[in-house]
Chains A and B, each alone.
Chain A
Amino acid sequence: AQSVTQPDIHITVSEGASLELRCNYSYGATPYLFWYVQSPGQGLQLLLKYFSGDTLVQGIKGFEAEFKRSQSSFNLRKPSVHWSDAAEYFCAVEGAAGNKLTFGGGTRVLVKP
């Protein structure tokens, strides 16, 4: 069965500093990987996705993620965070059948001024 682990429950970062959120997955074949962001009271917004090809993928809002098959990881990064990046971030994996997403537990990001 597929699974996703986000080791960090909370991260606090200063505005303007870099951010990296960790994600490790378990899946028997090449996974489809996603990062979503959720602001309070809102649904999930897709930041970026990986299906195949280039292992460094660019997303919206200045985010990028790198797929590393050898480490079963798909970490999310942003070079310089803004106060508006404070939110909860979810990593997810989907099988080729496309019938469901399996989510990690989420990482809540707090941005200090």
Chain B
Amino acid sequence: GAGVSQSPSNKVTEKGKDVELRCDPISGHTALYWYRQSLGQGLEFLIYFQGNSAPDKSGLPSDRFSAERTGGSVSTLTIQRTQQEDSAVYLCASSLDGGGIQPQHFGDGTRLSIL
């Protein structure tokens, strides 16, 4: 498809388990972003990848959260030892070059529910 693809669309897991969320950006987009959308906190930035540069991890809420981007394309967001407060929709976005002028295009998100 032409848009940002995220999988799974829904994930239900037990507290304490690890989860992996996947994002497939638009082909040719060098910048990739993860955001979290929750009832209490709204839309929050998590992490930003731009080309081969070191990622901006300033938005990750704890060291249980990590992300990688392989080959400059697909990204995986990993949450270890999940807690109930991790329940949220995790949105991925990509942009052509991350320079600020090119807008970010969003996927439909992964809805994560921690039991």
Name A residues whose Cβ lies closer than 8 Å to a Cβ of B: 32, 34, 36, 41-46, 49, 51, 90, 94-106
Tally of B interface residues using CB under 8 Å: 27
Taking a contact as CB atoms under 8 Å apart, the answer to whether A46 and B4 are in contact is no
Nearest opposing residue in chain B for A41, CB measure: B108
Closest 8 CB pairs of A and B: A98-B100, A43-B106, A103-B43, A100-B45, A44-B106, A43-B108, A98-B98, A98-B99
Given A96-B100, A100-B33, A101-B45 in contact, is the A44-B91 Cβ separation under 8 Å?
yes
Asked if B31 is at the interface (CB within 8 A of a chain A CB), the reply is yes
Q: A43-B108, A51-B101, A97-B100 are in contact. Are A102 and B91 (CB under 8 A)?
A: no
Asked if A99 and B50 sit within 8 Å, CB to CB, the answer is yes
The minimal Cβ–Cβ distance linking A103 to chain B, given in whole angstroms, is 4
Q: Report the bound CA distance from A51 to B31 in whole Å.
A: 19
Instruction: Tell me, in angstroms, the Cα distance from A7 to B35 when the chains sit together.
Output: 22
CB-CB under 8 A for A102 and B45, given A43-B4, A46-B105: yes
Contact B101–A98 (Cβ < 8 Å): yes
Judge whether B107 is part of the interface by a CB distance below 8 angstroms.
yes
A99 touching B108 in the complex, CB below 8 Å, given contacts A46-B103, A49-B103, A106-B42: no
Q: Are B56 and A99 in contact (CB under 8 A)?
A: yes
**Residue B59 is within 8 A (CB to CB) of chain A in the complex:** yes
Beta-carbon contact of A105 and B42 below 8 Å: yes
Find residues 91-111 in chain B having any chain A CB closer than 8 Å to their own CB.
Answer: 91, 93, 95, 97-109
